[in-house]
Amino acid sequence: MNYTSEQANILVQALPYIQQYYGKTIVIKYGGNAMIDDALKASVLRDIVLLRFVGMNPILVHGGGPEINQMMKRVGKEPTFIGGLRVTDEETMEIVEMVLAGKTNKGIVSIINTLGGQAVGLSGKDAKLIEAEQKDAALGFVGSVTNINPEILHTLANQGYIPVISSVAIGPNGESLNVNADHIAGAIAAAIGATKLLMLTDVTGIFEDKDDPSTLKSVLSKEEALGMIKSGKIDKGMIPKVEACITALDGGVERTHIINGTLPHAVLMEIFTDTGIGTMIESS
């Protein structure tokens, strides 16, 4: 292979960022098409393994809505949503936990380990990592985060492991609760004192006009982001992602980013380049 000066420049450009983030924790919310497409999945997880090998402590939080839907349909159960949240009766909760904490989580763990990393799969019930309470009786076993117990994450990071966390929490009586993975990522980033939170999604970032790609907002303050939610410029599935960023910022996280996880090596481009990609939301 003939290496070019451009390739060398890319490596040199990465050096100060490797130095800056060495030993620091980066929480990554992983979902959308980057989880469905096998090639994209391998690309994202390879990037996360690289972060670990250059001295960072990545923590991966994932959902798995499409896989839950597929499993529900296989057992003859039709998914129902209220305000974008899955109505989760007892039977649905069993399916959610089986898919997220089982099939999806262990699949991600297996790929990371195959790529040379050391991943450990967790749900919020392990070591009471994610405590939650019922959000709304009409939604059933859907929860809101009340507390994060990050000690297990510190232990794993200190031993060189990559935690992979599914969005199943533990309720007050030990019951399983289905919690939005975006909200979990923000809460974990705040609780563990992460330096960065990366929200991987299927779009480039936040737009002033969602129908005009030229209006991408590279940087937003927390106040501007809240204003865009109020005005309706940020809506639907982007709202919990922005809320997660705000939770993280309020908890002391330095930088939060919403980026397109379908772009090859999006994680590396955000962390290791001068320009970054997507939208950064900061405290002020």
Ordered by where they begin, the domains of the chain are 19-282 (3.40.1160.10)
- Reference 45, options 98, 101, 115; nearest CA is 115
H or E, element range at 180: none
Integer Cα distance of 188 and 175 in angstroms? 20
Beta bridge partners of 200: 259
H-helix segments, 22-146: 33-36, 38-53, 65-74, 90-97, 105-114
pLDDT of residue 3: 57
Distance of CA 209 to the CA centre of its chain: 25
Integer Cα distance of 113 and 177 in angstroms? 28
- Written as tens digits, the pLDDT of the chain (284 aa) is 455 666 777 778 888 889 999 999 999 999 876 777 788 889 999 999 999 999 999 999 998 888 898 899 999 988 888 877 788 999 999 999 999 999 999 999 999 999 999 999 999 999 999 999 999 899 999 999 999 999 999 999 999 999 999 999 999 999 999 999 999 999 999 999 999 999 998 888 888 887 788 888 989 999 989 998 888 888 878 888 999 999 999 999 988 999 988 888 889 888 887 777 889 998 87
